[in-house]
Amino acid sequence: MLNKWEVLNKITESGLVVVVRADTLTEAKKITEACLEGGAAAIEITYTVPNATRLIEELSNHYGEDAIIGAGTVLDSETARIAMLAGAKYIVSPYLDKDTLKLCNRYQIPYMPGVMTIESAVEAMELGADLLKLFPGEAFGPKMIKSIKGPLPQANLMPTGGVSPDNVGEWINNGAVAVGVGGSLTASAKQGDYGTITRLASNICRAIKEARQG
């Protein structure tokens, strides 16, 4: 079983967290398979997906340590605990929920709360969050990462929303340690085109690597 730091290291090494929102379990599974084939290490199953807990459990059992399966759109500690018991290796929220952060620290599961301001970023770090989800990223753009890291160089930021294969390098160059990518990567699933998802995931992983190499 991977510990907290191994999970965080795998996420930051890959740099790509795929945010999966789908209408059915089958669609979500196919998206997951396509993204992993493209090189993504972490898959975030959101609690807007029908039967999300069941999907987290099935994917966690199927892939074991070969994929980092987490839970997203977690709004409370009760849902977080259910996701953990189903096998989620990390928890993501659209905002900072203190009870969820406390729970995750208790069980040593990475928690990634959404932040929008310097104040919320500082509060999340003071309470023990290791990776901060800049959300919604499209409201700020890549330069927001650099703006936050000016006064808070120690902040580990992962933008979600507004990240695409075309601009991922800019997010990384401004200081993001990872990126969360959803619709811009997975949209073709609605047409049953999973090959495009694999190709885009591969392009994103390559762009992250190239940006890090300077």
Q: At residue 40, what are phi and psi to the nearest 5 degrees?
A: -65, 145
Considering the candidates 27, 33, 57, 133, report the single residue annotated as catalytic: 133
Helices (H), the chain: 4-14, 25-37, 52-63, 77-86, 98-107, 118-126, 143-149, 168-173, 183-186, 195-212
Helix, coil or strand: residue 10: helix
Q: Are 96 and 128 in contact (CB under 8 A)?
A: no
Considering the candidates 44, 57, 58, 89, report the single residue annotated as catalytic: 44
Helix, coil or strand: residue 157: strand
Q: Annotated catalytic, 133?
A: yes
Task: Look up tokens 């999966």; give the residue.
Answer: 20
Q: Which residues fall within 8 angstroms of residue 155, CB to CB, at 6 or more apart?
A: 121, 125, 132, 148, 149
Q: Annotated catalytic, 209?
A: no
Q: Are 51 and 78 in contact (CB under 8 A)?
A: no
Enzyme catalytic residues: 44, 133
